[in-house]
Structure 1
Amino acid sequence: MNAQSGRSGARKPETILDKLRAQLSQPLSWVVAVACLAPLAVLIYQTLSDNATANPIQYLTIQTGKIALILLVLSLACTPVVTLTNWRTATKLKRPLGLYGFLYVCAHLGVFTFDNGLLDGAIDVGAVFGAIVEKRFAIAGFLAFCLLVPLAITSTKGWQKRLGKRWKTLHKLVYVIVPVAVLHFAWLVKSIIVRPEPIAWGVVVALLLIARIPRVRKAVVDFRTRYVKFGSAPRAAR
């Protein structure tokens, strides 16, 4: 009987399909997926229907990069949102936003590779790296991509368990990646036309990083608890 109960109580190892089913069973996952993938569908439609402006490659390069930056900044904003509002559901958005951001980074790099490395129907890797090293915005973008790769690979719970405390240390790279991505965007658009938009992104990212400083976070939480009290139960009267 003990053996039988032991067999029935044993858990089967979780497969990728099991994880996918569990993820898709959550309504929030569907909302995030649709919101993040809809712009990609629009870009593909515009490209196939020749509606992506007179220079579709430049348009796709800028748009995929901009969407990637938006998603990475939103991922970075999740913890400050919890600090400010105590809306803890925001922590569940951090990982998917980061992964969808990485997807757009890959698309961004793919368009750049196609534009700079396609020769005689094949990709010339040497030409791609040559295009990267000769432009400062490309160097910054490629650096951000290289730093993002280990974060995307180790984003699963399995890797989190394997790495232990080192996992948090590794994923603090995002504090470097997002500012580098903003710098990449600033240099990219400056090479096309001078715009105030990169400055706005820089200010937003700076504020999000400042909000993570322990003293600042504690001050915000104390203020919220004492004066605002939204998203949390009221304190019991003493």
Structure 2
Amino acid sequence: MLSPKQVSWLKGAIFVLALAPLLRMAYLTVTGQLVDPLEFITRGTGDWTLYLLCITLAVTPLRRLSGWNWLIKLRRMLGLYTFFYGLLHFTTFLWFDHFFDVQEMWKDVLKRPFITVGFIAFVLLIPLALTSTNGMIKRLGGKRWQWLHRLIYVIAPLAFLHFWWMKAGKHNFTQPILFGSIVGILLLTRVWWAIRK
């Protein structure tokens, strides 16, 4: 069992580590080490959104299996970082692909299915980020807040589908199969616990 001080140190370490991918992307871009920086940033922010989403989903199963209840104190920050990278991913799409032309962006969203599901997943993340504070939990009430945050079980498959279609277009199935397995296991464990309960 970790002490409050140890949990605080751990949260600080995770906060810095979660920023590291963004700092690396910025460094490689500024120093001109990338052949296609826009592609690298778009893919990098999207990948890290999915990575952090999987880590966030893994908190509850790991806590239940290990008895490490202090893990729950990390979930909010991990979830907010998931939204942060998702926001960066969407911003690069809106900025670099469409130069903030919202009308053209909508045409692209409606035209290409992999962008459609990714956009839906991002939109569903917004209310989760906005209601992540203790104040919003009190305003909504515990049960309503829990029901709202179960949207993560919709977001995860949509994010995976977005990732799958994007990689499948390049005939790269290794990563999609890996992340599909991870997302599937994380969601199925919850279904199993719900059935047992």
Query: Is the TM-score greater than 0.5?
Result: yes
Identity %: 39
Which residue is equivalent to 1:112?
93
Pairwise CA RMSD = 1.8
1:183 alignment partner, one of 135, 140, 161: 161
* Structure 2 residue 178 is the aligned partner of structure 1 residue 200: yes
1:41 alignment partner, one of 23, 40, 49: 23
Equivalent residue of 1:51, what SS? coil
**Which runs of 5 or more residues in structure 2 are unaligned?**
1-6
Which stretch has the larger CA shift, 194-203 or 105-114?
194-203
Q: Read off the aligned partner of 1:91 and give its amino acid letter.
A: I
State the aligned residue count. Answer: 190
Which residue is equivalent to 2:58?
77
Which residue is equivalent to 1:236?
none
Which residue is equivalent to 1:166?
144
Residues 1:64 and 1:47: Cα distance change in structure 2 (over 3 Å): same
Q: Read off the aligned partner of 2:79 and give its amino acid letter.
A: G
Partners of 1:51 and 1:134 in 2: CA distance? 33
1:103 alignment partner, one of 73, 84, 87: 84
Partners of 2:128 and 2:194 in 1: CA distance? 26
Partners of 2:28 and 2:109 in 1: CA distance? 27
Q: In the TM superposition, what is the alpha-carbon distance from 1:106 to its structure 2 partner?
A: 0.6
- Would you tell me which structure has more helix in proportion to its own residues? 2
Name which one, 1 or 2, has greater alpha-carbon Rg: 1
Which residue is equivalent to 1:150?
127
Partners of 1:150 and 1:35 in 2: CA distance? 25
Q: In the TM superposition, what is the alpha-carbon distance from 1:137 to its structure 2 partner?
A: 1.0
Q: Contact 1:182/1:202 (CA < 8 Å) preserved in 2?
A: yes
Which residue is equivalent to 1:5?
none
1:140 alignment partner, one of 117, 138, 143: 117
> Could you state the TM-score of these two structures normalised by the residue count of structure 2?
0.90
Partners of 2:174 and 2:32 in 1: CA distance? 29
Listed one character per residue, the Cα deviations across residues 52-82 of structure 1 (whole Å, up to 9, x for unaligned) are: 3x22211111111001100011001100001
Equivalent residue of 1:158, what SS? helix
Which residue is equivalent to 1:94?
75
Equivalent residue of 1:155, what SS? coil
